[in-house]
Amino acid sequence: MARRLVLFDAGGVLFTPSPQGCFARYEASLALPRNFLKDVVLGAGPKGPYARALRGEIALSQLVSELEEDCKKFAAASGVSLPEKFSVTQAFKDIMTGGKLNTAVLQAADTLRNNGFKTAVLTNNWIDDGPERHITALVLTLLRRHFDLVVESCRIGLKKPDPRIYEHALGLLKAKPQEVIFLDDVGANLKPAREMGIATILVQDTDTALKELQDLSGVQTVPCSFYPVSSWAELSVVVHQAMLAVAGLCSAEVHRDSDLYLTHLGFLIKIYFIGPTFAGERQASKSTSSLPPQKLLC
């Protein structure tokens, strides 16, 4: 049976580094033992704050608060001295502000979709009620414009590697396991999917993973040549500029229609941030770039 659908993990695949990578970077900055945060998370088990947050049972603010206490208890029990400036809040802030888009993977996803594949994001995520929630909302908005479906663990009460989350995604996509390819950077998340019959790719190196994806899909992906913005901090500035452009160029009628407004905003974001990535769009963008913005937007 031909593969016709590709599932992508978010952190560690579409965005780098993964949350675990951000934790490792934060640990190193404070000279904490390697995998300190990971050990705290795993030690708490399925009823711990991290697991509950990924199932949507608690939001980010409560996760941070409870994890902070767990870190103090774990440090005391293991003889680790926590620096004064240790902060779980900062560790999670670093995930949002320090992450970068893996442009090569997004380009591959666009190419697959343009060649008739369905694409979806399957991610373990939490409900963000923190000060960086606007970044989370922006990221999810962009993902939904590039993928046919975005499945967040916190919205369905299931998290990877629970086999039920893969069954849920297949049901939404009306696909059989033998039709699907799944990319994730965590081997434990791939194991149950592979046992179901899904073709899996462990993402440790982007180039190697994309070569495997090309072999499984039969679609040649082209490296991206125009992604001028890669960090979410830069993206916030770009989106602000795009919103101002939409406000200045579009009529009041457009502003009253939220879907139409988002369509125009998304177009500007794509021009300023993503760039012309779809097949054939590169030439089309050249032919229309000299037109007044009103001709393009309103």
Instruction: Kindly report, residue by residue over 270-297, the tens digit of the pLDDT.
Output: 444 444 333 334 333 333 333 233 322 2
Asked if residue 226 is part of any domain, the answer here is: no
- Give the pLDDT score at 290: 31
Shared domain check, 138 and 11: yes
Please give the tally of structural domains in the chain. 3
Shared domain check, 76 and 210: no
CATH of the domain at 34: 1.10.150.240
Q: Cα-atom radius of gyration of the chain, to the nearest Å?
A: 21
Shared domain check, 146 and 52: no
Q: For residues 193-222, give the mean pLDDT.
A: 94
- Give the pLDDT score at 228: 43
- Give the pLDDT score at 246: 47
Characterise 118 by phi-psi region: left (phi > 0), alpha (psi -120 to 50), beta (else): beta
Shared domain check, 140 and 93: no
Shared domain check, 153 and 12: yes
Shared domain check, 188 and 177: yes
Shared domain check, 290 and 202: no
Residue-number span of the structural domain to which 275 is assigned: 232-297
b/e sequence 262-289, b meaning 16+ C-beta within 10 Å: eebbbbbbbbbbbbbbbeeeeeebeeee
- Nearest one of 48, 98, 94 to 68, comparing CA atoms: 48
The Cα 38–Cα 33 span in angstroms is 11
Q: List, in order, residues 6 or more apart from 212 with CB less than 8 Å away.
A: 201
Shared domain check, 134 and 123: yes
- Nearest one of 90, 100, 101, 97 to 37, comparing CA atoms: 90
Is pLDDT above 60 for 183? Answer: yes
The Cα 197–Cα 189 span in angstroms is 14
Shared domain check, 159 and 71: no
Residue 155 host element (H or E): helix 153-156
- For residue 180, give the 3-state DSSP assignment: strand
Shared domain check, 206 and 240: no
CATH of the domain at 213: 3.40.50.1000
Instruction: Kindly report, residue by residue over 20-49, the tens digit of the pLDDT.
Output: 999 999 999 999 999 999 999 999 999 999
- Residue 205 pLDDT class (50, 70, 90 cuts): very high
Shared domain check, 159 and 12: yes
Dihedral of CA 144/148/150/156: which sign? Answer: positive
Instruction: Specify the pTM.
Output: 0.77
For residues 277 and 110, is the Cβ–Cβ distance under 8 A? yes
Is pLDDT above 60 for 97? Answer: yes
Shared domain check, 55 and 117: no
What is the layout of strands, in order, in the sheet containing 180-184?
A: 149-152, 118-123, 5-8, 180-184, 199-202
Could you tell me whether strands 100-101 and 15-16 are parallel, antiparallel, or unpaired per DSSP bridges? antiparallel
Instruction: Kindly report, residue by residue over 52-91, the tens digit of the pLDDT.
Output: 999 999 999 999 999 999 999 999 999 999 999 999 999 9
Q: What percent of the chain has pLDDT over 90?
A: 63
- Residue 237 pLDDT class (50, 70, 90 cuts): low
Could you say which DSSP state residue 83 is in?
-
| End position of a domain, from candidates 97, 125, 145 | 97
* Segment among 12-21, 122-131, 203-212, 259-268 with least mean pLDDT: 259-268
Instruction: Kindly report, residue by residue over 136-159, the tens digit of the pLDDT.
Output: 888 888 899 899 999 999 999 999
